[in-house]
């Protein structure tokens, strides 16, 4: 293994402290605190585990967290109405839809129903439009935000780098590709229909993989000394696996995010950061999306 591990935990701790401080100071100044409503339909164990992690991160940052439980057999119209009520509720700052939802519901339509000002996961078309236009007032979805924070923690000028993003979901691949483009990387997006994946990825100075297929990326896919962000998480029993083969990729890359312990620890804290931004924006304060990493030293 020659790659240096690009770990998220220490950065997550710093960002958690900084967010808790920002939330506290904002509340002292304005009297307002943020509250997240997390909608869960049914009782998917993965979604419930994620809710527990979010609830802990909320408590650690001074942000309220309400789990809104809907029965697994609820109708699409009931789920839409639940989201509409949260959109209108003054005490709710931000909304997330825990996934997966049962297959009889249209997950995308439910995500699109969330008001853009409360869309903490940045999945509504309004948010994506702002991201595309690079207005600075969008919510970067938490996982791409975590990936950008890890890249920014390296002493690396992003502009001009060849970046390849494997996977183009609305919640990870697409917004990450856009953030990299907005930072002037030359970006290629690959997906299930991409031909000659290895020849593309082997050109990448920065390779981001968000697919959910363990072992998809091996050392043959990687340029020597590249920065590799392995975003995939697949549970095999109690073991979590990334999309990269850690041994062969680790012997070629310059940096590699471990799974677990790379992107994951930063994701929930980025959601909290978005809740804080949402509250500030709803109260008329402009809080930009870019995070000034060099100043986060405390």
C-beta of 115 vs 197, nearer to ligand NAP:
197
Q: Output the smallest distance, CB 8 to ligand NAP, in A.
A: 9
C-beta of 46 vs 136, nearer to ligand NAP:
46
Residues in touch with ligand NAP (CB under 6 A): 143, 166-169, 171-173, 190-194, 197, 210-213, 216, 231-234, 263-264, 267
User: DSSP letters of 32-69?
Assistant: ---EEEEEEES--HHHHHHHHHHHHHHHHHT-EEEEEE
Query: Of all helices (H) and strands (E), which one includes residue 269?
Result: helix 264-282
Cα torsion through 75, 78, 84, 85, rounded to 10: -150
Q: How far is CA 13 from CA 19, 267, 270, in A?
A: 10, 12, 12
Where do we find the tokens 């000394």? 225
C-beta of 172 vs 222, nearer to ligand NAP:
172
Q: Output the smallest distance, CB 89 to ligand NAP, in A.
A: 27
C-beta of 128 vs 210, nearer to ligand NAP:
210
Q: Output the smallest distance, CB 265 to ligand NAP, in A.
A: 9
Q: Output the smallest distance, CB 282 to ligand NAP, in A.
A: 26
Nearest-CA neighbor of 170 among 194, 193, 192, 144? 144
Q: Output the smallest distance, CB 202 to ligand NAP, in A.
A: 14
Neighbouring C-alpha atoms within 13 Å toward the C-beta of 230: 33
User: DSSP letters of 192-243?
Assistant: TT-SSHHHHHTT-SEEEE-S--TT-B-GGGS-TT-EEEE---EEETTEEE-S
Question: Quick check: 212 and 243 in contact, CB under 8 A?
Answer: yes
The C-alpha atoms of residue 223 and residue 228 are separated, in whole angstroms, by 10
Q: Output the smallest distance, CB 171 to ligand NAP, in A.
A: 5
C-beta of 87 vs 169, nearer to ligand NAP:
169
Q: Output the smallest distance, CB 244 to ligand NAP, in A.
A: 12
* Per-residue tokens: 37: 């409503």
C-beta of 87 vs 99, nearer to ligand NAP:
99
C-beta of 95 vs 270, nearer to ligand NAP:
270
């Amino acid at each position: 293994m020659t790659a240096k591990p690009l770990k998220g935990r220490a950065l997550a701790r710093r960002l958690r402290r900084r967010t808790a401080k920002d939330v506290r100071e904002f509340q002292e100044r304005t009297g307002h605190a943020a509250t997240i409503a997390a909608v869960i339909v049914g009782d998917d164990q993965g979604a419930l585990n994620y809710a527990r992690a979010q609830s802990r991160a909320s408590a650690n940052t001074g942000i309220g967290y309400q789990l809104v439980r809907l029965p697994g057999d609820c109708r699409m119209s009931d789920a839409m109405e639940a989201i509409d009520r949260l959109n209108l509720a003054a005490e709710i700052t931000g909304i997330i839809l825990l996934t997966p939802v049962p297959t009889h519901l249209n997950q995308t339509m439910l995500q699109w129903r969330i008001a853009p000002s409360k869309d903490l996961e940045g999945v509504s078309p309004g948010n994506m439009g702002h991201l595309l236009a690079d207005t600075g007032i969008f919510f970067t979805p938490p996982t791409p935000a975590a990936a950008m924070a890890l890249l920014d923690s390296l002493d690396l000028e992003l502009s001009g780098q060849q970046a390849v993003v494997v996977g183009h979901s609305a919640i990870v691949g697409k917004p990450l590709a856009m953030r990299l483009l907005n930072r002037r990387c030359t970006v290629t997006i690959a997906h299930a229909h991409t031909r000659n994946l290895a020849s593309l990825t082997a050109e990448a100075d920065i390779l981001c993989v968000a697919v959910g297929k363990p072992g998809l990326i091996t050392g043959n896919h990687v340029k020597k000394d590249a920065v590799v962000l392995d975003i995939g998480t697949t549970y095999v029993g109690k073991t979590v696996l990334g999309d990269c083969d850690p041994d062969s990729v680790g012997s070629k890359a310059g940096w590699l995010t471990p799974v677990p312990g790379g992107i994951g620890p930063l994701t929930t804290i980025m959601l909290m950061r978005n809740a804080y931004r949402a509250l500030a924006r709803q109260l008329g304060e402009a809080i930009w999306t870019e995070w000034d990493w060099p100043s986060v030293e405390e």
